[in-house]
Structure 1
Amino acid sequence: MKGIIKFMKLIVSILIIFTLFSKIFAQNLPDYLDPGEHNFDKAGYKLFIEKKRNPKLLKEYIALEKRNYDVLRYDLYMDWYDLISKHFETGNLLTFEASNKIQLVILENNVSFIELDAMLLNIESITINGQPSNNSNKKALGILKVNFNQTFNSGDTVVLDIKYNFSSSENEGGINVYEKGTPIELGPPPNYDTVFIEEKIAYTMAEPIDARYWMPCNDRPYDKALSSFTVKVPKGYTVTSNGLLTKKVDLADSSTFFWKHDYPVTTYLMHAAASKYHYYYDWYRRVSNPDDSIKIEYYVWEKDFQDTSSDGMTHNATYAFRNSVKMMEFYSTIFGEYPYERYGMDAVLDCWFGGMEHQTITTLHRNVLRKKNRWGGNADNGNQLVIAHEMAHQWLGDLITCASWNDIWINEGGAVWSETLWQGRTNPDNYNWAIMGKMQTYLYYNTQNVQPPVYAPPIDNVFNYATTYMKAGSIYHMLGVMLGKERFLEILREMFAEYGYKSLDTEEFKNFLKSKVENPSVDFDTFFEQWIYKAGHPIYMVTHSTRKNQADEFYKVNLNLAQLQEGDDIPNVFQTCMWVKFFGPDGIVYIDSLVNKDRIEQFTFTLPFKPDSLQLDTVKTLCQVYAYVTDVEDNSDNATVIANIYPNPSINKDKSFLSLELKEDSFIDIEINDNLGRKMDKIKSGFLTSGYHLFDIQTKNLASGIYLISIQSKGKLITKQLNVLK
């Protein structure tokens, strides 16, 4: 016993040290980037990916590779009695007996075998259409090859009944088991109370490719099937799963729960959890028919249900779920009626994710029930967004599902955008602040344009927070801006009707938009190429000049946009819809729009006032503004060349930029000279058309000092000073 006590003290000490360092790190982040309790543990996810996956298989898992059959139904039985009743300690085996009856249809002719995904599963027997399999069935590299007793042709139905057992010496991600009393982490300051597992718990977690760890299946997101879960557990435990509970059979020491789901579901959205849960529910009256109601069910530990504290230090389920019915009403109004027979949420601990949108039964990290995060900050808003995010997935991710992991942006981007819709449901300003936070979070992680494209992330980075979530959510937002939010929501409802209970890939998503909208401001092929298939975002340098018209009291404003982004797989030009705000005296604001289609482009506006400044609307378009430069030259009609340098001084930079605005076509000579008049470099010598031009001034090899940029045009010399500091 003393040894156990010493070990517990060591564990708690380590947790305290880790928490303090985590707190220090978190304090260095802006508030809107604080990851809080419930963003997934990316490092933890990558660790178990590396432990479990054969690298040769990873490319196959991420790609859309359809097999020669389509699963129609899974009927799964799992005997978790021993798994839960026996105490699990390190070195012991987690085991359970199971069977899976798989009904499928063949899609090709002359098929003599099929392949299923299966990991850590010991196959005991297979029957094919009720007959024992006469041929040997092989399992290698996670693939179960099922040899048929005959050949089948396209349209033939095959029923496999596979008996197997699961065996593992540790939690492998697919099956997670935690003993009651296990210390997990420290609670919020100032108490830093140790958080324990309140009741023994076992649950499945399949996203992205872990259903194969607890059932043989076609573990690819494009394949959806009807399903049932039958799970045997010790008496006193409750099992929740997809769909509806159709029956419960109690024996002297065990209970068996029969769950059935009458809507197609992909394997990574299948789920079962068992613990000594307190079960309660709310009623949601369907917005399409108030006489029809469904349950919103909650599965939480008794302690969390009974908690009524308001200080945020403990887990209070009733408070955390207070908005569930309102959220369901909201999403059913904007997306169309909730598409399933029931909705529920189960709380689990421990886990590396904040929430998981299992179809009809979302799984939440238990800390979503606690108002304070582990650093003592208020996490209530973030908790509500996790609940909203996972509920919105029931449409964007479950009703329509990414056909492959290449297309996961469809799921996660839609749910992130849906969070902001919930936040802005009563006030558009709240929506703008929320979406700006998503964009700024992406830019925070991608200041140097180093993040990969949204499309086809590597499997060990499939949950890339910057791109899979924040950038993808911003893409949904920009589609809503370009098409109009109400029109975009209408198109999504039509998409749900067309692809509901199915999967779709990125090209199908794009082509559906093309079928509904003619002549968008930016054509969809270009939009998807630059935002989905390519990396990065536009980085702008913005300059402008103002001239007063002599004939009237109006002002001519030339707005010059230069895109500066560069790098591998980053578009040279992003074609973007932009909005610009001109600010004048006495609080005057003039707003206009434009479509930027070139890397360097000039736009002209006529205003009834002289603007003091201008600003691109970076809430409507995901972009980064490198600099706003206001020309300070004589902007009368006599000025033929307007020039500016930015940044100036150039402090530890590899280059600055020279912007030129020419009133008319001209031959130009541009040189860099040091303060003794010695020529250091020639930037340009040649003919330039009227309009806006941008040149790089390479400063990487220049020593600290003062340099003169000389610009000769039509016999006139303009000199600009550049300060270089290193």
Structure 2
Amino acid sequence: MLQIILSVLLFGSIDIPTPPSYVRDIIKKQVYPATVDVDSVHSYDVQSYSINLEIDPGNKYIEGFTDISCRIVYASVDTLTFDFWDMVIETVMVDGVGVPYDYGGGCLDVLLPSAASAGETLLVHVAYSGYPQIHSTPFWGEGIYFTNKAIYSLQCPEGSRYWYPSWDKPFDKATVEMIITVPDTLFLCSNGLLQDSINTGGGMITYSWMHDYPTATYLQLFAASRYVQLKDTMHVVPIIHYVYPEDSANAVADFSMIPEAIDYYSVLFGPYPFEKFGFNESGVGGGMEHQTNVSLGSFLITGTGAYEMVFVHELAHMWWGDMVTLVDWRHCWLNEGFATYAEALWWEHLYGKDGLKAYMTDLQNQYISWEGGGHLYPIFDPPLQYLYSTTTYEKAATVLHMLRFLIGDSLFFNTLKTYGNTYKYINASTDDFKNIAEMVSGEGLDWFFDEWIYGAGSPKFKYTIYRDTNSDS
């Protein structure tokens, strides 16, 4: 029997702005990986990446090496396989010793001189050079972009392979160091904190960045431009934005709410999980939640606050997507549904319960319209072309809101905090979240998840209205 939760939306006289529906298509990425890899275990576990490159913008050329620290997982391993495309490999070494390898078809197989055992840690060094290519997805390409204003990487969902060797799946998170040399007219930013910058002569400068937190490959980045740095030194979390000089005044106005938003989400979700937060401006087609350093398209920086909901959506990803990362792409809603609901929570913070109702009504109506177009897909494991869609964003957010209604505010937000603490810096699945919700609430929720997460569509009601012509009322 279908179980239905209905929320009656009653609006008061408070002046609540219309939710900014125009941000919805900007927030949705509408990209998808070529395949869904549901295997969350492979023969090794990457512990760290150290990416050391020199970039020649004029020739759109890179040269350097990547060191990969790998801990062996299987009992015996004689080959390490990495995702890698487009580059010319010069040398491959393991623990300082040259080894043979096979390279082609997007795979680099490193042949170990002797089998490694579970628990061993190996350092793989790959030296390479080449002209990185942009590999297309339905919405944006993955790889390194060379534009008039910026050089930047964009690799969601599985595009790190186009400029450094990696195990390019979201379930293998690792720390990342980037040591990148660019022309000295540019400032280069990345994940984490800047460790050093050294003028190396010949008009070049080397920036060293370190992010000592586990990071999925799709969340790693660099961006280089003639950036102005906007720093907020008053907040407990260091906030540093990197924007074009001509947009700096608008950025100051637009980003002024970020400290308040960090504080608010820290109350709801738990303390901010990383060593800094900021935005970098580039040519991306919207927002991308690179860990600690979110990429924003220039058009979002207006000085009017028009895209505030994009900003808080991307900020919320620091908890949902970055701190806790989906185990594979079937669980995309754990990233995007959570970040979309965080928008509604921000609207609630600004405009109270009536504001929350208005925002949720808007999300619900967007999904109903989407479903009316024939998009009857479940939130969990939708068709690949709809991985980033209204189903995994707006519908997933409304289902989270229903869960909040079902178990109550206290248990709902305790569920979020417990889920975050349990899977902090690792990966989680839909069942992991369900199990936490059941544990915290004391409720059996199979029926709820079966109908709303694993099932498709929304309730349809048939009704008949009778009029009593003999009544005076």
TM-score (norm 2): 0.89
Give the AA of the match of 1:238.
F
Determine which of 153, 158, 168 is the counterpart of 1:209: 158
Give, in angstroms, the shift of residue 348 of structure 1.
0.8
Q: Give the 3-state SS of the residue equivalent to 2:356 in structure 1.
A: helix
Deviation, structure 1 residue 448: 5.3
* SS of residue paired to 2:375: coil
Q: Could you give the per-residue CA deviations for residues 157-204 of structure 1, whole angstroms, max 9, x where no partner exists?
A: 111011112324657633343443xxxxxxxxxxxxxxxxxxx31111
Report the alpha carbon displacement of residue 33 of structure 1 after superposing the two structures with TM. 4.4
1:334 has 2:268 as partner: yes
Please tell me the residue identity of whatever aligns with 1:73.
S
Question: Any conservation in 1 of the 2:62–2:130 contact (CA below 8 Å)?
Answer: yes
Q: CA deviation at 1:330?
A: 0.9
Partner of 2:256: 322
> Residue 175 in 1 paired to residue 138 in 2?
no
Aligned twin of 1:34: 22
User: Counterparts in 2 of 1:338-377, with a 5 A limit?
Assistant: 338-349=272-283, 351-352=284-285, 354-370=286-302
Instruction: Give the direction of change, closer, same or farther, for the CA distance of 1:296–1:421 in structure 2 (3 Å limit).
Output: same
Return closer, same or farther for 1:277/1:425 CA change in 2, 3 Å cut-off: same
Query: 1:116·1:218 contact (CA, 8 Å) conserved in 2?
Result: yes
Percent sequence identity is 28
- Whether 1:532 aligns to 2:453 is yes
User: Structure 1 pair 474/635, CA: closer, same or farther in 2 (3 Å)?
Assistant: farther
Partner of 2:15: none
How is 1:555-566 mapped onto 2 (pairs within 5 angstroms)? Answer: none
Q: 1:73 aligns with which of 38, 48, 51?
A: 48
2:316 is aligned to 392
Distance 1:34 1:434 in 2: 13
Supply the distance in 2 between the matched residues of 1:219 and 1:361 (Cα, whole angstroms). 20
State how far apart, in whole Å, the 1-side matches of 2:347 and 2:331 are: 26
How much does 1:630 deviate? 2.8
Partners of 2:386 and 2:25 lie apart in 1 by 20
* In 1, Cα distance between equivalents of 2:25 and 2:344: 19
**Matches of 1:228 and 1:469, distance apart in 2:** 32
For residues 293-304 of structure 1, the aligned pairs below 5 Å read 293-304=236-247
- Whole-angstrom CA distance in 2 between matches of 1:169 and 1:448: 36
Within-5 A mapping of 1:154-553: 154-168=118-132, 173-180=141-148, 200-252=149-201, 253-283=203-233, 285=235, 293-305=236-248, 307=249, 316-349=250-283, 351-352=284-285, 354-370=286-302, 380-381=305-306, 383-426=307-350, 427-447=352-372, 449-464=374-389, 466-519=390-443, 523-542=444-463
Residue type matched to 1:201 in 2? A
Give yes or no for contact 2:133–2:162 (8 Å, CA) kept in 1.
no
Q: Give the Cα–Cα distance (whole angstroms) in 2 for the partners of residues 411 and 510 of structure 1.
A: 15
Equivalent position SS for 1:322: helix
* Contact 1:64/1:406, CA 8 A, preserved across alignment: no
Amino acid paired to 1:300 = V
Match of 1:144 in 2: 108
Task: Determine helix, strand or coil for the equivalent of 2:433.
Answer: helix
C-alpha change, 1:461 and 1:62, in structure 2 (3 Å) is farther
Q: C-alpha distance in 1, partners of 2:111/2:212? A: 30
Give the letter for the 1:69 counterpart: Y
Task: Tell me which residue corresponds to 1:722.
Answer: none
Query: Following the alignment from structure 1 to structure 2, what is the Cα–Cα distance between the partners of residues 36 and 389?
Result: 11
Question: How far is the alpha carbon of 1:458 from its aligned partner?
Answer: 3.7
Structure 2: distance between partners of 1:31 and 1:329: 22
Deviation per residue, 1:218-244 (Å, 9 max, x gap) = 111111111111110101200110111
Secondary structure at the counterpart of residue 103 of structure 1: strand
Q: Is there any run of 5+ residues in structure 1 with no aligned partner, and where?
A: 1-29, 50-57, 89-93, 181-199, 286-292, 308-315, 373-379, 543-628, 637-726
Letter in 2 for 1:174: E
Q: Report the CA distance between 1:37 and its aligned residue.
A: 7.8
Cα distance in 2, alignment partners of residues 210 and 248 from structure 1: 27
CA distance in 2, matches of 1:120, 1:265: 24
Q: Structure 1 residues 36 and 413, CA, compared in 2 at 3 Å: closer, same or farther? A: closer
| Secondary structure of the structure 2 residue equivalent to 1:540 | coil
**In 2 relative to 1, CA 98–528 (structure 1 residues): closer, same or farther, beyond 3 Å?**
farther
Q: Deviation of residue 385 (structure 1)? A: 0.4
Pick closer, same or farther for the CA change 1:438–1:166 going to 2, 3 Å: farther
Judged with a 3 Å threshold, the aligned counterparts in structure 2 of structure 1 residues 240 and 515 are, in CA distance, closer, same or farther, namely: same
> Any idea what the Cα deviations from partners look like across 1:253-310, whole Å, max 9, x if unmatched?
111110001111111110100011111211353xxxxxxx3321111111111x4xxx
Q: Which amino acid aligns with 2:379?
A: V
Q: 1:31 to 1:386 in 2, by over 3 A?
A: closer
Q: CA deviation at 1:538?
A: 0.8
Distance 1:484 1:128, change over 3 A: same
Q: Distance in 2 between matches of 1:103 and 1:97?
A: 20
Opposite residue 66 of structure 1, the aligned amino acid is V
Q: Which has the higher strand share?
A: 1
How many angstroms does 1:249 deviate by? 0.6
Residue aligning to 1:14: none
Match of 2:4 in 1: none
Change (3 A) 1:407 1:147: same
Q: Which amino acid aligns with 1:127?
A: M
AA partner of residue 533 (structure 1): Y
Deviation sequence 1:287-346 (CA, Å, 0-9, x none): xxxxxx3321111111111x4xxxxxxxx2111112111111111121111111111110
SS in 2 for 1:438: helix
How many angstroms apart in 2 are the aligned matches of 1:409 and 1:119?
29
- What is the CA RMSD across the aligned residues, in angstroms? 2.2
Measure how far apart 1:485 and its partner are. 2.2
Question: Secondary structure of the equivalent of 1:421?
Answer: helix
2:82 counterpart of 1:108? no
Deviation by residue 1:126-177 (Cα, 9 ceiling, x = unmatched): 11111110x3x22233222111111011111111011112324657633343
Aligned length: 448
What does residue range 53-72 of structure 1 map to in structure 2 within 5 Å? Answer: 58-59=34-35, 61-72=36-47
Contact 1:32 1:437 survives alignment (8 Å): no
Contact 1:449 1:536 in 2 (8 A): no
Structure 1 Cα separation of the partners of residues 120 and 332 of structure 2: 32
